[in-house]
Amino acid sequence: MRLLATERPGVKRWPGFAPYVQAWQAMQAFTEGRTLDTPDQLWLVEHSPVYTLGQAGKPEHLLNPGQIPVVKSDRGGQVTYHGPGQVVVYVLADLKRTGLTIRAMVQALEEAVIGTLADYGLSDACRKPGAPGVYLPQDGDLAKIAALGIKVRKGCTYHGVALNVDMDLSPFDGINPCGYEGLKTISMASEGVAADWDEVAVSLAGKIINQARLRVE
């Protein structure tokens, strides 16, 4: 699969709705073929509908998958949903070169999402202790707007972060999102923000480059 370059160096757009397994295998191949001099890349992806279970994912968090396929992945975390209208940014980074720990990389991705949401007027986006991702206060609780999970292989990361822009949220009712029963999932659109997918994706990618200290070309 040939990726389409964006106007930002090192940022590639996967055309169309990408099958999850195809993108996952491409990330693995890219990571396996890296050398010490390979520049980092970010892949902007919009997936066809799929549930993914992380390495430690428990099948009991799949409540009613229906006709949506389920893929057992090698990323961290529990179960989540990917589908049209969600910006997924896969972070193909040399972790040692960034000088970040895995935890610091996760925090960098969260900070990039928080900054992107603030640009669109959602300035109350925040973290939740012990539960990676980005949340917004709602009805006295926190609702999830972005999920993340990464994998480290040969000192390099793949997988990344998924931000709900304007998507059908009903498939989240078929799971315990990220392993949390009753966790509400929202999107930028459900919070009243009309945003273009490509614009959000490129903006988020730029913030990830800065926050995660990536070396891109």
Asked, for residue 201, whether it belongs to a domain, the answer is yes
Q: Output the average pLDDT for the chain.
A: 95
The pLDDT tens digits for 129-177 are: 888 999 999 989 999 999 999 999 999 999 999 999 999 999 999 999 8
Torsion of CA 179, 183, 189, 195, to 10 degrees: -40
Asked, for residue 150, whether it belongs to a domain, the answer is yes
Whether the predicted pLDDT of 184 surpasses 80: yes
Asked, for residue 59, whether it belongs to a domain, the answer is yes
Q: From the candidates 27, 134, 163, 178, give the one annotated as an active-site residue.
A: 178
Structure confidence at residue 130 (pLDDT):
86
Asked, for residue 66, whether it belongs to a domain, the answer is yes
The continuous run of DSSP H or E covering 151 comes out as strand 141-153
Do the beta carbons of residue 44 and residue 13 sit within 8 Å?
Answer: yes
Q: What is the residue range of 39's domain?
A: 4-211
Overall size of the chain counted in residues = 217
Structure confidence at residue 198 (pLDDT):
95
Asked, for residue 113, whether it belongs to a domain, the answer is yes
The continuous run of DSSP H or E covering 13 comes out as strand 11-18
178 is catalytic: yes
**Calpha distance 211→209 (Å, rounded):** 6
Asked, for residue 217, whether it belongs to a domain, the answer is no
CATH number of the CATH domain containing 195:
3.30.930.10
Do the beta carbons of residue 52 and residue 2 sit within 8 Å?
Answer: no
Q: How many domains does the chain have?
A: 1
Torsion of CA 157, 159, 160, 164, to 10 degrees: 180
Asked, for residue 88, whether it belongs to a domain, the answer is yes
Whether the predicted pLDDT of 5 surpasses 80: no
Task: Output the six-digit token pair for 86.
Answer: 């969600």
Structure confidence at residue 1 (pLDDT):
61
Minimum mean pLDDT among 1-10, 59-68, 117-126, 161-170: which range?
1-10
Asked, for residue 216, whether it belongs to a domain, the answer is no
